[in-house]
């Protein structure tokens, strides 16, 4: 922390108070600390890397605007209270504003109400996230079970899974989504939900239309459906696969595509993704050795999400790469992956660094 800041008391939730009025800062800090850990600092201090529960900014307009922009944490908008000098800023989600001249009791009453509100919201959000991960896991499990048994895949399930992933990732961000997904050791389902989460994040980043965004996430949810027919001993084998096992494993794109084609209800794009997500730009992928423009954009995006996910997933038999390491490996893969897309993909994925470090 910067000079002049309070020592960190706990690892729990805290209010971050940034003020250039030392007397007011000290008084507010003392009062807030009775309710929740309060870290206070003057403008120009180092912003904590952990996300505060609530931020209180008491600064001149220009400094407040700079700091507000610097206070960016993964996840939903951070609740903020600005003690405003001059005109209030335009309204924004989770932003409350009071005149800096407001009586201290009014400021404190607002801070306490916001702390309570943020606690309620975060408890609710946590519960909703758990329900969504559990729901999406059950859906993916059902899809894989149905596929393994040769039963029909339920379109409704795919739709519901897509909506759950999109809703969760847009509400809590990819890092929190992955943290919850990775809490459960659910192998191929965990991978599927990771790839779908990355696809949801990237789709937002590049501004896909609602229809294309859903198509992308749906394709990601189904991309490895062919693995449902690969023996689990091969799927979960910790070491290298034998040439025979590898040959079988590399059939999963064709198996999945055939399965979806046989059902007749899936879009050609989804089938394309399922069949070609292991094709590589330089033609060295499988199963058909497609190259360059023969691999369409959605397939290339799912390929990026797939490789990134696989590299950063937690596996018991090998350490996972951090987001930065995974992106470096992907950049060094030469002509395998779409480097133009990767340049847009990389910044969108660095938000998950905290989880993979």
Residues that bind Fe ion (CB under 5 A): 224, 306
Q: Which is nearer to Fe ion, 83 or 216 (CB)?
A: 216
- CB 121 → Fe ion: shortest distance, Å? 34
* Residue reference for tokens 């959000």: 125
Q: Which is nearer to Fe ion, 154 or 250 (CB)?
A: 250
Q: Which is nearer to Fe ion, 95 or 225 (CB)?
A: 225
Q: Which of 113, 51, 60, 92 is nearest to 42 (CA)?
A: 60
**Angle value at C-alpha 112, between 110 and 117, nearest 5 degrees:** 90
- DSSP structure class, residue 266: S
- CB 278 → Fe ion: shortest distance, Å? 6
Question: DSSP assignment of 282-301, as one string?
Answer: TS--SSS---GGGS-HHHHH
* Helix or strand holding residue 80 (H, E): strand 80-84
- CB 305 → Fe ion: shortest distance, Å? 9
CA distance 165 to 173: 10
Q: How many residues in the chain? A: 357
Q: Which is nearer to Fe ion, 180 or 279 (CB)?
A: 279
CA distance 45 to 268: 54
Q: Which is nearer to Fe ion, 38 or 311 (CB)?
A: 311
Q: Which is nearer to Fe ion, 272 or 306 (CB)?
A: 306
Quick one: tokens of 143? 């899809």
Quick one: tokens of 260? 């979806």
- CB 27 → Fe ion: shortest distance, Å? 56
Q: Which is nearer to Fe ion, 81 or 303 (CB)?
A: 303
Q: Which is nearer to Fe ion, 104 or 247 (CB)?
A: 247
Query: For the chain, where are the alpha helices, taking DSSP H only?
Result: 22-32, 61-70, 104-149, 155-182, 187-205, 210-222, 232-235, 243-249, 252-263, 268-276, 297-312, 323-331, 339-349, 353-356
Within 8 A by CB and 6+ apart from 349, the residues are 174, 198, 201, 202, 308, 323, 326, 327
Q: Which of 212, 149, 263 is nearest to 271 (CA)?
A: 263
CA distance 188 to 137: 10
Q: Which is nearer to Fe ion, 41 or 303 (CB)?
A: 303
């Amino acid at each position: 922390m910067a000079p002049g800041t309070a020592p960190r008391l706990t690892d729990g939730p805290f209010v971050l108070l940034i003020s250039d009025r030392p007397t007011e800062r000290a008084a507010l800090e003392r009062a807030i600390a009775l309710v929740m850990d309060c870290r206070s600092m003057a403008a120009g201090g180092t912003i904590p890397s952990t996300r505060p529960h609530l931020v209180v900014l008491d600064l001149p307009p220009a400094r407040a605007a700079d700091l507000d922009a610097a206070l960016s944490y993964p996840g939903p908008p951070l609740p903020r209270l600005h003690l405003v000098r001059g005109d209030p800023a335009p309204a924004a989600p989770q932003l409350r504003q009071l005149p800096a001249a407001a009586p201290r009791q009014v400021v404190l009453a607002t801070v306490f109400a916001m702390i309570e509100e943020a606690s309620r919201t975060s408890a609710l959000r946590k519960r909703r996230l758990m329900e969504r991960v559990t729901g999406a896991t059950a859906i993916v499990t059902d899809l894989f079970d149905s596929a393994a048994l040769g039963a029909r895949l339920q379109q409704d399930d795919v739709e519901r899974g897509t909506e759950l992933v999109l809703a969760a990732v847009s509400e809590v961000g990819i890092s929190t989504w992955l943290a919850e997904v990775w809490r459960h050791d659910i192998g191929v389902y965990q991978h599927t939900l990771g790839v779908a989460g990355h696809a949801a994040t990237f789709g937002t980043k590049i501004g896909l239309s609602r229809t294309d965004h859903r198509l992308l996430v749906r394709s990601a949810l189904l991309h490895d459906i062919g693995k449902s027919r690969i023996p689990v001993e091969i799927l979960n084998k910790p070491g290298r696969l034998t040439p025979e096992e590898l040959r079988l494993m590399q059939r999963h794109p064709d198996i999945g595509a055939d399965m979806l084609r046989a059902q007749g209800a899936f879009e050609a794009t989804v089938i394309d993704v399922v069949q070609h997500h292991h094709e590589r730009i330089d033609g060295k992928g499988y199963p058909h050795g497609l190259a360059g423009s023969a691999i369409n954009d959605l397939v290339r995006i799912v390929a990026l999400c797939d490789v990134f996910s696989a590299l950063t997933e937690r596996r018991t038999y090998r350490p996972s790469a951090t987001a930065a390491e995974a992106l470096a490996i992907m950049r060094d893969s030469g002509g395998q992956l779409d480097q133009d897309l990767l340049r847009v993909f990389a910044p969108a994925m660095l938000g998950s660094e905290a989880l993979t470090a």
